[in-house]
Structure 1
Amino acid sequence: MTTRKNSDLIGIVLMGGNSQRMGKDKSQISYHRIPQYQYLFQLLSKYCSEVYLSCNAKQQTKIESSFPLIKDVNDNKGPLEGIKSAFNIIDKSLLTVPCDMPVINDELILQLINSRNSDLDAVCYSDTDGHINPLFAIWEESCIEELKKFKGDSPKQFLKLVRTQVLKASSEALKNINTPDELNLYLKNQG
């Protein structure tokens, strides 16, 4: 597969949550023989001119120093805080991926990239049940000013306010793992 870096697209691995339901940092779980944050960093590096890990203050000390970080301005405010924190220092479009989705792959990323349109502010996915996943998405530079004015903390609510294209993907492709039971079941099914 031939890949091309997009000079106007910055990759952001969203990993700043508390992982309360999991009981341990979800970004450190290994689905692909390396911690998930490293896997997603490598994956996004194929398509984005730069990639950053969006993290909270506690996570900073657990991440190898070779990875560029963007620390959440306000910890424990949810994933939209990670996106806002990235846009505070980056004035390019963002390709965001959450660290709790082990099935993210080249095909899904390319579909997002190929669906970009200058008339849109964002492109994201919806699963077969109609549940929108606003965190595996491209947030165009055109939405920065609206995001700065947005007072809520729901990425889904924000994407309803701007011009967003919603792509379809299977529920399995958009699976996220949030609890030890979900993790054990996923790993068992992987063989």
Structure 2
Amino acid sequence: MSTEKTHQKHPKLLRPQLGNYARAEFALVGTTCARIDGLLEEWLPQLSESFRVLTVSGKHGDLPGHDARRVGEKLMNDSPSTWNEYDDQLLGKEYDLVLVNGNHYPAARQIVFVDPKKAGTLARRKEQLTDVAAVIFCPGAEEMPDWLQEHLAAGPRVQGKFEDSHNLLLPLLRSEATAHRPPLKALILTGGKSSRMGTDKSQLVYRQETSEVDRMIAMCRTAGLEPYLSVAAVTDSADAAVPQITDRFAGMGPMGAICTALLMEPDTAWLVLACDLPLLETDTLNALISARDSRKFATAIKGASKPFPEPLVAIYEPRAYSRLLQFLSLGRACPRKMLINSDVALLEIEDETPISNANTPEERARVLTTLGARK
């Protein structure tokens, strides 16, 4: 047997589960563009109340030869650039749901409109009908064409008339976007140097002869989250039942640990916890989980008297990965800087005790005094 190792040119990475654009996407195909674009325009604000939604349509009429973006009173015009399917995914993965005018572009799932006026358009896109979720009959259409009936085989889940399309399709879209909401896991940061404390903060004991890392693990499990340990290097001393994630952004501190978790599991949201919060309890974690807004880059806790959110008691959505890397590209390796300057949800708490850090022996002594007073 040959012992020669197979050369691997690139590291193996998990890829996010995307279609042409996003985790949840639909192409609306088979009727007029005016009707499709009208539905997209009408649905966008309704769906945006719960999800981050992108619509994709085609060119209708003359458009300017440059891209324009308005932010408040600031108008920026961009020079034309190339675009390909990877750009579609780089844009689309930031959204919970992408709705596409299928007369122009395909998507992983389809909503088919049977319209006598556009029968040829639909027939020409037969090969794009790979996963039909619904068939809607436009005025004048009573049944599916024979070729479509045969093509669909088992048939779609939803059928109905165009006048009922809102009641039929909006629940379908909401259900699909909800089903693809990233699951939430916990990332406990144990890879720091603890230089100010002078000893490993994760192994400190504040109560009941339980180390802080073990207490954090138990809290996460009580809150219904699967815990993972962020480590600088794999160690045998940790709880064998808790997976370890070795930092792949060495020297970047918590920012590197968060990016590593999002890199290793790109379809997962992470509740990130530092090990220097000995007064944090499960009720605060439950409140943060309840406040989660998956439309945002992150959901973070902020003390009522604090000017900024706490980056290490926060939920980071998969879309935060690109945002964190963008901040790294600007030479900013502080996750709080990203939170302050990004679209995030904040859970403000009046009692700031749970987010009181213990980074030094003096702060540890104050925590022990506080815990002693509670007995």
Normalising by structure 2, we get a TM-score of 0.46
> Once the two structures are superposed, what CA deviation does each residue of 1:131-186 show, in whole Å capped at 9, x if it has no partner?
42111001112222222333121011111332111222222121110011111221
Match of 1:114 among 272, 290, 295: 290
The percent of aligned pairs where both chains have the same amino acid is 28
Number of residue equivalences: 185
Counterpart check, 1:22 vs 2:203: no
Structure 2 gap segments, 5+ residues each: 1-180
Aligned twin of 2:354: 173
After TM superposition, list the pairs within 5 Å mapping 1:62-77 onto structure 2.
62-77=237-252
Counterpart check, 1:43 vs 2:219: yes
Q: Which segments of structure 1 move beyond 6 Å, counting only runs of 4 or more?
A: none
Find the aligned partners of 2:320 and 2:346 in 1 and give their Cα distance.
16
**Aligned partner of residue 368 in structure 2, secondary structure:** helix
Of 133-142 and 115-124, deviating more is 115-124
> Once the two structures are superposed, what CA deviation does each residue of 1:22-66 show, in whole Å capped at 9, x if it has no partner?
000000011233111111111112334521011112x72542433
Structure 1 gap segments, 5+ residues each: 1-5
Which structure's relative contact order is higher, taking Cα pairs within 8 Å and 6+ residues apart? 1
Q: Which amino acid aligns with 1:140?
A: E
Q: Which amino acid aligns with 1:113?
A: I
Find the aligned partners of 1:53 and 1:121 in 2 and give their Cα distance.
22
Q: Which amino acid aligns with 1:136?
A: V
Q: 1:76 to 1:61 in 2, by over 3 A?
A: farther
Larger Rg: 2
1:9–1:48 contact (8 Å) kept in structure 2:
no
Counterpart check, 1:187 vs 2:368: yes
Match of 1:9 among 158, 178, 184: 184
Q: 1:116 to 1:66 in 2, by over 3 A?
A: closer
1:52–1:67 contact (8 Å) kept in structure 2:
yes
After TM superposition, list the pairs within 5 Å mapping 1:101-180 onto structure 2.
101-130=277-306, 131-151=308-328, 152-169=332-349, 170-180=351-361
Normalising by structure 1, we get a TM-score of 0.87
2:189–2:254 contact (8 Å) kept in structure 1:
yes
Aligned twin of 2:153: none
Give the deviation of 1:121 after TM superposition: 1.6
Find the aligned partners of 1:68 and 1:87 in 2 and give their Cα distance.
15
Find the aligned partners of 2:346 and 2:369 in 1 and give their Cα distance.
31
